[in-house]
Structure 1
């Protein structure tokens, strides 16, 4: 059995998106689209958290 390690591009995120490995321009676009957003760090990862 093989494991698929690719991230889905259209996954439901429930207001939390893991952005650690994303390009800065993409993270900026996500943050601009959200009315209210902030960053959180947990376990060495960075998350963009929005009020959806």
Structure 2
């Protein structure tokens, strides 16, 4: 990841940016979050949960 890349940490609203993460890490986040969906915005990918 480059120095300008944002970290991918959960936020208070249940959104995690997963664009630059390895697939295994995204799967782990998805399993922990439960009911999720993915969104693409501005060329970035986000894992989103209503929890």
Please give the range of the TM-score, normalised by the shorter of the 2 chains. Answer: 0.7 to 0.9
Gaps of 5+ in 1: none
Moved over 3 A (4+): 4-9
* Cα distance in 1 between the residues matched to 2:33 and 2:15: 11
Q: Give the corresponding residue for 1:28.
A: 27
When normalised by structure 1's length, the TM-score is 0.74
Residues paired across the two proteins, number? 48
- Which is greater in Rg? 1
1:15 paired with 2:19, answer no
Quote the residue 1:42 is aligned against.
41
RMSD of equivalent CA atoms: 2.0
Q: Determine helix, strand or coil for the equivalent of 1:22.
A: coil
